[in-house]
Amino acid sequence: MMTGAQGLTFVLVHGAWHGGWCWSRVVDILRGRGHRVTTPTLTGLGERSHLLSTSVNLALHIDDVINHLVWEDLRQVILVGHSYGGVPVIGAADAVRERISKLVFLDAAILQQGEAAFDLLPKAVVEVRVAAAVEINGCLALPAGDVANLGIARPEDVAFVNGRLTPHPLATYRDALALKGPVGSGLPIAYVACTAPAYKSVDMCHRRARDAGWPVYELATGHDAMVTDPLGTANLLETISKI
């Protein structure tokens, strides 16, 4: 798929409980600057929440991203993963590296071969989340938590997010990531750490990014940066993509 002379192609992958809708403010900015932007929604979430079932697992979410790139015939893609979305992004890069020019992890989960998303969290936190899933829907999906934990405070932002969050398929957090090659598949990678306030669940991932020698940029906003600071997020994505 072609872009304008100066245009870039962004694919923005959301995190847990969210959908492609969460990027709308960033999309408006980037498209206004002449870039191609798509925001796939992972199976079982957002407008695809009616597809939630016990068969929705990590492999399916990885396939969601792969098939979006393939069927939209997207190439030279800046592939961005936010929070949990970093995991299917890693899996997709492992499979269709040739379609991607750069990976950007926005306050995202970084898993190694054989790890599951739950492995990043303290055991006590995992137990609380699984217990909530059992109570709410028989262990099918993780219920969304308080948006304040995502660094969202403005009433208009709270209303925007609270009305759209959906339970997240539990299996995607339990499944181990299976890779054929190294994390990132040898592609250029950048990591964006959201710092005001910091989201403790990804602290380990900030360290992993630095230990891997990836350039790490800081954004002085909360974990849901695309909601709380869409202009800063768009500016940083654009800057990183042109380096």
For the annotated catalytic residues, the residue numbers are 83
Q: Residues 221, 194: contact at Cβ < 8 Å?
A: yes
Contacts with 40 (C-beta within 8 Å, 6 or more apart), sequence order: 11, 13, 20, 64, 65, 68
Alpha helices in 52-184 (DSSP H): 58-71, 86-95, 123-137, 155-162, 171-174
Q: Which one, of 98, 72, 94, lies nearest residue 11 by Cα?
A: 72
Cα→Cα distances 192→218, 222, 237, Å: 6, 12, 9
Alpha helices in the chain (DSSP H): 24-32, 58-71, 86-95, 123-137, 155-162, 171-174, 203-211, 225-228, 230-241
Give the span between the Cα atoms of 2 and 8, in whole angstroms.
9
Give the span between the Cα atoms of 65 and 90, in whole angstroms.
10
Cα→Cα distances 56→17, 52, 64, 122, 225, Å: 14, 7, 11, 24, 27
Q: Which one, of 48, 30, 46, lies nearest residue 38 by Cα?
A: 30
